[in-house]
Amino acid sequence: MSAGLVVRPAAGPLAGTVIPPGDKSIAHRAILFNAAAEGESRVEGIPGSEDLASTLRAVSAFGVEVKREGDGIARLRGRAMAFSEAPGPIDCGNSGTTSRLLAGLLAGQDFETVLTGDASLSRRPMRRVVDPLAGFGASLTAADGCLPLVIRGTQLVPARCRLPVASAQVKTAVLLAAMQATGESTVTEPSLSRDHSEIMLAAMGVDLERDFGGSGGQGLVADPFVIPPGGEHAVSLSGPRVPTSLDLRVCGDISSAAFFVVAAVLVPGSVLRLRGVCLNPTRTGFLRVLRSMGADIEAVVEGESAGECYGTLTVRSSGLVGVDLAEEEVPFTIDELPVLAVAAAHADGVTRIRGAAELRIKEGDRVRAVCVMLSALGIKVAEHDDGMDIYGGTIRGGVEVDPAGDHRIAMSAAVAALAAEQAVTVLDPRVADVSFPGFFKELERVSSS
């Protein structure tokens, strides 16, 4: 564990412009899908995080030619869905996306692979991806339902799969398996999850049919402040399909931007701009929640990259009030809930969060971790099985926060410190490098502008 970092209350308003690192979810898919594609691709904007390094190492191990062309740029020569056997186990590090998407991609290959990970990833459930892939005839074995995962590649058959819980990672694994089966397959989720895979695969020439059952077939509205349609969401495709390589630039990670959005809202007098940010409506739930709490946030869509819209956020300091978080927004805020909890700690009144049991199986039990962090900071909080009640008040600080290996807890604690009465020491700050290398330096820069 690295030494603790002292984060002091902001001495003045936050100001300036932040360009967040490339979106992790999109970058993982850009690498894996182009690795499986026919042809050569150039991907820009790959974040320098440890999770993406795991994905790049993995595809290289399966015979994909990867050439780095500077920071955040890679050329990949795809294998047209025919990979080489890796020389040994594949270490996915801390990346659940790497492990779960690889499970679907490798299930139809003609060799055996073992996926491993660090201590945190090895505690996260893999049965949620093993069980649906079994419907395609895949042979996967997870020790105690967790990593290591043994994948014995085989000829896959088409399937109709209904997921018990909406999950973009599991949905993507199923789609990658379906692309290796002969015939039509469908994956149905109880509600829409992030749709980066559907957008990118369509841009790579894979014909997909989407059914937004809960909205009479109406699709997404390209507005970050409009809640995506509710009800079941189904994706169908006919395999086998080999995607066509795609050059693209990965837009900015809105989950990383969220920490600066909340910091600017909480610190009086702040005006902060975040440029090049992904504004896909399945990722902007936390913006909608903050707006409902009274936050002054503007979003301008400025362009599109491989089907993904991006633009600029302008955030001004605002007074907040507690809200009851709508359950339909939870899937679209799941990664941002720790820092949303910090915003709730600074709001007037009570914020109630329910339907967030998924938080308990992230890098750690984030429901418990957030409650422990807020309690240490002097905020009253009541923990529930699927969420928490946060009683807004004064963030006292003057404590140490141990993120226990969770990058989002470390960064949330730093944001809380800016609005606290006293400094907060964040233990093991380097854990933030999992998603946002240089986060603390960037926070200090906008704090001293």
What is the rounded distance in angstroms from the CA atom of residue 246 to the CA atom of residue 41?
Answer: 5
List, in sequence order, every beta strand (DSSP E) within 153-230: 160-162, 183-189, 209-212
Nearest to 257 by CA among 442, 428, 48: 442
Half-sphere exposure of 278 (CA within 13 A, CB side): 31
Cα 145 to the center of its chain, rounded Å:
22
As given in the structure block, the two tokens for residue 210 are 């989407």
Do the beta carbons of residue 413 and residue 375 sit within 8 Å?
Answer: no
Q: Catalytic residue among 335, 402, 406, 428, which?
A: 335
As given in the structure block, the two tokens for residue 97 are 């996306």
What is the rounded distance in angstroms from the CA atom of residue 195 to the CA atom of residue 379?
Answer: 35
Question: Catalytic: 23?
Answer: no
What is the phi-psi region of residue 418: left when phi exceeds 0, alpha when psi lies from -120 to 50, beta otherwise? alpha
Beta bridge partners of 447: none
What is the rounded distance in angstroms from the CA atom of residue 402 to the CA atom of residue 376?
Answer: 10
Give phi and psi for 325, each to the nearest 5.
-65, 120
What is the rounded distance in angstroms from the CA atom of residue 185 to the CA atom of residue 179?
Answer: 9
Q: What are the residue numbers of the active site? A: 335
